[in-house]
C-alpha cells in the first residue's frame, strides 16, 4: 500500500519507469534504422529487399512510441490530480475535525470521545477497553440530549495509570424510565498532518489516521462534558453495546 506524505510526496518511480521505456524504444528504433540503412546500401539491385516489411515495422515502432507518449501524459495528469488533492487537504491542518469512531489514542494521560445522545439519558455508563478487548475502566454518567465530550484521564478501575495506546469506548445509555437510548460516538482532534494513501487524502490527528471521506464536520471550541454520577465506576461489567 503506497503512502506519500505531504512533506515527501513524489511520483519519481512512475516517471523513472516511463523515461526508461522511452529510452529503450528510442535505442531500438535507432538500431532498426541503422540496420535498415545498412541493408539498403548493400542490397542486391537485381533482388531488392521487401520494403513492405520495413514499412510495417516502422508503423509498429511509431505505434509503440505514441503509446509511451500517451502513458507519459496520463502519468503527468495523475501526478497533477494527486498534488491537487493533497494541496486541498493541507487546508485541514490545525483545524479540529470530527469523524465517526469509537477507538482513540490515550496519549499524554488523556483520551477524548464525542458522544451524541438522541435524548436525555441520566442513567448511563461508559465502558473503556484496551486493544486486547479487556475492560480497564467504566464510569456512570448522565448524558444530555445532543453532543457532549467525554475525557478519560487514563486511570484504570484499580486506580493505576493505563499505558499509552488505543482504547475503545462503549456507551450504555438509558433514560429515566430505564429505556435504552440510542447514542453514537465520534473522535475529535486537531489535524497535524496530511498523507496520500492509494491516491486518497488521509488526515493525521496525532497518531490517529482518518480518511478525509470519513470526516463528518469541522468544529471550533469545545462541547459540554457529561455529568458524572456518584455511583460505581468499575465494578459493573455490563458490556451491552450501544445501539
Judge whether residue 1 has pLDDT over 50.
no
Starting at the earlier edge strand, list the strands of the sheet with 208-211. 3-5, 193-197, 200-205, 208-211
| pLDDT attached to residue 220 | 64
Helix (H, G, I), strand (E, B) or coil at 43: coil
Please give the angle made by the CA atoms of 3, 132 and 134, to the nearest 5 degrees.
145
Span 196-202, average pLDDT: 80
What confidence score (pLDDT) does residue 180 get?
A: 95
Question: What is the reported pLDDT for 135?
Answer: 96
pLDDT of residue 40: 72
CATH number of 96-228: 2.60.40.4070
> Tell me, what's the pLDDT at 162?
94
Average pLDDT, the chain: 76
The DSSP bridge partners found for residue 45 are none
The DSSP secondary structure of 104-131, one letter per residue, reads EEEBTTBEEEEEEESS-EEEEEEEEE-T
Which spans in the chain are helix H? Answer: 12-41, 51-90
Radius of gyration of the chain (CA): 31
pLDDT category at 60 given cuts 50, 70, 90 is: confident
Q: What pLDDT band is residue 197 in, cutting at 50, 70 and 90?
A: confident
Query: Tell me: the pLDDT tens digits for 112-159?
Result: 899 999 999 999 999 999 999 999 999 999 999 999 999 999 999 999
Give the model's pLDDT for residue 136: 96
pLDDT at residue 231 in the model: 45
Cα distances (angstroms) measured from residue 30 to each of 7, 17, 45, 62: 41, 20, 25, 12
More confident residue, 46 or 193: 193
Would you kindly state where each structural domain of the chain is located, as residue ranges? 7-90, 96-228
What band does 216 get if pLDDT is binned at 50, 70 and 90? confident
Amino acid at each position: 500500500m503506497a503512502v506519500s506524505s505531504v512533506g515527501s510526496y513524489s511520483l519519481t518511480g512512475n516517471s523513472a519507469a516511463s523515461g526508461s521505456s522511452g529510452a529503450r524504444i528510442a535505442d531500438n528504433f535507432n538500431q532498426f534504422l541503422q540496420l535498415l540503412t545498412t541493408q539498403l546500401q548493400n542490397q542486391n539491385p537485381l533482388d531488392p529487399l521487401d520494403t513492405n516489411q520495413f514499412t510495417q515495422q516502422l508503423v509498429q515502432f511509431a505505434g509503440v512510441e505514441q503509446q509511451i507518449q500517451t502513458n507519459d501524459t496520463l502519468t503527468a495528469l495523475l501526478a497533477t490530480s494527486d498534488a491537487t488533492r493533497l494541496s486541498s487537504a493541507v487546508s485541514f491542518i490545525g483545524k479540529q475535525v470530527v469523524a465517526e469512531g469509537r477507538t482513540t489514542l490515550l496519549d499524554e494521560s488523556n483520551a477524548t470521545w464525542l458522544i451524541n445522545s438522541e435524548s436525555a439519558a441520566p442513567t448511563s455508563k461508559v465502558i473503556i477497553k484496551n486493544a486486547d478487548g479487556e475492560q480497564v475502566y467504566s464510569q456512570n454518567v448522565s448524558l444530555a440530549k445532543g453532543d457532549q465530550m467525554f475525557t478519560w484521564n487514563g486511570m484504570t478501575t484499580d486506580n493505576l495509570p493505563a499505558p499509552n495506546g488505543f482504547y475503545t469506548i462503549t456507551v450504555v445509555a438509558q433514560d429515566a424510565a430505564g429505556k435504552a437510548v440510542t447514542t453514537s460516538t465520534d473522535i475529535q482532534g486537531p489535524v497535524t498532518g496530511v498523507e496520500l494513501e492509494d491516491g486518497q487524502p488521509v488526515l493525521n490527528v496525532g497518531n490517529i489516521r482518518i480518511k478525509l471521506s470519513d470526516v463528518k464536520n469541522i468544529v471550533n471550541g469545545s462541547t459540554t462534558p457529561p455529568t458524572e454520577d456518584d455511583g460505581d465506576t468499575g465494578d459493573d461489567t455490563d458490556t451491552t453495546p450501544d445501539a
